Structure 1
Amino acid sequence: MGAMGRNHARVLNSLEGVDLVAVADPMASASAVPSGVQLVQEVEQLIALGIDYAVVACPTIFHEPIGLALAEAGVHALIEKPLANTAEASNRLAEAFESRGLVAGVGHIERFNPAIASLRERLEAGELGEILQVVTRRQGPFPGRIADVGVVKDLATHDIDLTGFVTGQTYRTISAQTISRSGREHEDMIAAVAQLSGGTIANHSVNWLSPFKERTTVVTGDRGCFVADTLTADLTFFANGVVDTEWEALSNFRGVSEGDMIRYAIRKREPLLVEHENFRDAVSGKSHDIVDMRMGATTVAVSESMLRSAATGETIVLDGAPAS
């Protein structure tokens, strides 16, 4: 029942077709739990209630033991991102649920943001032509509740996942730099440059050192630029213009000029609600669009490559992986 746990409980408690039975949290007070919902201390007590599925929203270091307990008991699970604190742990979780034929997802909520969903549809339709570059900026004040991972695994995993999601490409090479200024064990700022499998360049700037919050994804292609703001769920298109110039100094420059700008009208549903609707449908055997654990494990592996690059000063070449 932390920051995300409270929101998960709120959505599940009103989700059609789902009964929120209980919450397992050794530190929560009964007043924090929705009315009529049982509060227990441990995941084993939750399993004993005969639940169909569980949502794991706790410190990342506990994702693996809790997830493995749920898999062993035959309980479907939606685990918050990052899937686990290491790539090895992530793969163990994926194998545990797959081997038992269970539905298992990762809470990469940005995929369900209306701006990102619309962006992907437009890129798939070829509205931008060839995708040349993806630039993400994700920054804000330091969250005191995060202590077990740094900004790369907590925040940059959002950008890693959504970049693969909107482009349909995988990461091939990564070069990164990190710094730590907050006095913690882990990094709180990263700048990374990557090349994707289709030749697209990706740039990620992520930190916990900014006094203002920003969540922006800019995709540049042959025909212009899409700008997605996931804080406001706005998607804007800046078209390349074609304007002749008589200015001699620029007459030989082969580039683009400013064209039309379009801000799209998008139906703005709460991403967390859409995420839960999809997971509910997956458990019910209906059509769905969840982020499975293999995708989540790939994202963790990419984040570790970023950290390895920052530690060694080398450009990391990644092994091939299936596109998101």
Structure 2
Amino acid sequence: MALRAGLIGLGMMGRHHARVMREVTGVNLIAVADAMGDPHGVAAGLPVLASVENLIEAGIEIAVVAVPTQFHEEVAIRLAEAGVHTLVEKPIAHSVEAGQRMRKAFSERSLIGAVGHIERFNPALQQMRKRIQSGELGAVYQIATRRQGPFPARIADVGVGKDLASHDIDLTAWIAGSAYASVSGQVAMKSGRPHEDMVLVTGKLENGVNVNHVVNWLSPMKERLTTVTGEKGTFIADTMAGDLTFYANGTIDVEWESISSFRGVAEGDVTRFAFPKREPLRVEHEAFRDAVLGLESDVVTMEQGLHTLEIVEAALESAHTGETIHIPQH
């Protein structure tokens, strides 16, 4: 029997969720809802329900929440109260306090509560993490990300920190297998909106890895790069293309004296890996399905989503106070 699924929020992300939910084995999309209607024709014959209450009344077992961030708490907690396993788009909520209430609502009822940090399911990052775990990089020294592009008019309720930097903070902790120990942040507000549109974050993980994130909505050039440097070389993942490249530290001596004196390591082979590139959203939905069915799954939990939001808020606090924020260990 396929899981009876519902979707609330039929905007840009809701459109993609609906398509994938109709394609994933073991999931049957039976109801959709959005108080603002269906601008992208997501319903495809299903009635467009007006509220989360109507969605619950349809008899769903699992749900995807793709409404604006400010409504995540209200919708998700109502679904938890109705006993519905739920995948909430990232960030988990508009505030840490709201996220804590959501986590509690699902854990108290032994329900799966997941957060849609889709970058964890990007094939380039999954390959990178697997290769780092197998020792191909040796000790990890630094993780740096760049996520830049034009302002998306559809985002109105949060700034670039919670909308985009949350991706990089989550994937960094996941790749390194370590929580954040401290963060410092800088922000800019250049587009006339009440929220920040540029964030610079530096920090350190509990395992000693240095991290850096450059995130903005102010660049005409779209960029999604994750660079991990370690004792054996550097991995670079381009998550827009799903490509992974490894720059190895070489063992060949540089005979040109004028440049060899400036190099701490030698340039070695450059390898661009070939691997299957499955759609990240589909892999994310399969992980959510498996978690609900009690199977082994690497779904992003609400606990992990909450930690990510805590780091984002700490970076924004640092930008306001000018102080480095030290993160309590969990």
Structure having greater relative contact order (Cα 8 Å, sep ≥ 6): 1
- Residue 105 of structure 1 corresponds to 114
- Residue 6 of structure 2 corresponds to none
How is 1:46-195 mapped onto 2 (pairs within 5 angstroms)?
Answer: 46-195=55-204
TM-score (norm 2): 0.94
AA matched with 1:304: E
**Structure 1 unaligned residues grouped into runs of 5+:** none
Deviation per CA, 1:256-277, whole angstroms, max 9, x where unpaired?
1211000100100000001001
The alpha-carbon deviation at position 97 of structure 1 amounts to: 0.1
- Residue 223 of structure 1 corresponds to 232
AA matched with 2:326: V
- Residue 15 of structure 1 corresponds to 24
AA matched with 1:316: I
The alpha-carbon deviation at position 252 of structure 1 amounts to: 5.4
Paired residues of 1:106 and 1:293 also in contact (CA < 8 A): yes
- Residue 278 of structure 1 corresponds to 287
How is 1:30-41 mapped onto 2 (pairs within 5 angstroms)?
Answer: 32-41=41-50
The alpha-carbon deviation at position 250 of structure 1 amounts to: 5.4
Moved over 2 A (4+): 33-38, 242-254
The alpha-carbon deviation at position 30 of structure 1 amounts to: 8.1
Q: Tell me whether 1:307 sits opposite 2:316 in the alignment.
A: yes
Q: CA 1:252/1:98 → structure 2, altered by over 3 Å: closer, same or farther?
A: same
AA matched with 2:278: R
Computed over aligned residues only, the root mean square deviation of the Cα atoms, in angstroms, reads: 1.4
Paired residues of 1:67 and 1:93 also in contact (CA < 8 A): yes
CA distance in 2, matches of 1:29, 1:204: 35
Paired residues of 1:20 and 1:37 also in contact (CA < 8 A): no
CA distance in 1, matches of 2:142, 2:57: 49
The alpha-carbon deviation at position 36 of structure 1 amounts to: 3.4
Deviation per CA, 1:132-156, whole angstroms, max 9, x where unpaired?
0001000110011111110000000
CA distance in 2, matches of 1:269, 1:212: 25
Q: CA 1:48/1:125 → structure 2, altered by over 3 Å: closer, same or farther?
A: same
Q: Looking at secondary structure, tell me which structure has more strand per residue.
A: 2
TM-score (norm 1): 0.96
Paired residues of 2:253 and 2:266 also in contact (CA < 8 A): no
- Tell me whether 153-162 or 87-96 shows the greater mean CA deviation: 87-96
Deviation per CA, 1:172-210, whole angstroms, max 9, x where unpaired?
111111000000000000111101111111010000001
Paired residues of 2:11 and 2:40 also in contact (CA < 8 A): no
How is 1:179-258 mapped onto 2 (pairs within 5 angstroms)?
Answer: 179-249=188-258, 255-258=264-267
CA distance in 2, matches of 1:181, 1:113: 31
- Residue 327 of structure 2 corresponds to 318
Deviation per CA, 1:145-172, whole angstroms, max 9, x where unpaired?
1111100000000000000111101111
The alpha-carbon deviation at position 283 of structure 1 amounts to: 1.3
CA distance in 2, matches of 1:317, 1:196: 11
**Taking every aligned residue pair, what percent have the same amino acid on both sides?**
55
Deviation per CA, 1:209-246, whole angstroms, max 9, x where unpaired?
01121100000000000000000000000001123244
Q: Tell me whether 1:293 sits opposite 2:302 in the alignment.
A: yes
**Structure 2 unaligned residues grouped into runs of 5+:** 1-9
The alpha-carbon deviation at position 281 of structure 1 amounts to: 1.4
